[in-house]
Amino acid sequence: MSAGSAPRRRPVALLDALAFSSVWVSGAAALLTAAAAKAMAVPAPPEALVIAFAGTFFVYNVDRLRDVARDRETSPERTAFVTTHRARLRALSAGAALLAVAAGLRAGAEVAGLADRVVDQLVDGHHLVEVARLDRAGRPVDLGHQGRPGEVFG
């Protein structure tokens, strides 16, 4: 390999890593979550974006790690990437799963409230569930169903 070909391979290797590690599709999931919330004129809690990114990253990588033998024929370049970086992908996938669970626990009903508000927009203003969460003092916090989002009631 000539010295001039090494710099050309770096961008290709970076693009392969972004595509084959599922970073692209995970980023798209987070951006689509934010876009959907914006289109529905509801706030997107950061935890929802983390869940979308980390959950997608986890699911796609577990699938790729499990299907290496089957993917050898249909996607040899991706399979080569996955087998070369198997340990890293396993560690990153485990980290993504923990991050998604932590974000879900931190968000609690707030993310469920986002889902309800989005569905509410789709079904003409009828809430399917009433969702509230507790603030640090243990008081219920309105998630925007009545009054302003984040308003403490009661």
- Over residues 59-76, the mean pLDDT reads 90
Q: How does 1-26 read in b/e, with b if 16+ C-beta sit within 10 Å?
A: eeeeeeeeeeeeeeeeeeebbbbeeb
State percent of the chain over pLDDT 70. 64
Lowest mean pLDDT among 57-66, 102-111, 131-140: 131-140
Predicted model pTM: 0.65
Give dist(CA 85, CA 82) in Å, integer: 5
Residue showing tokens 């999931």: 29
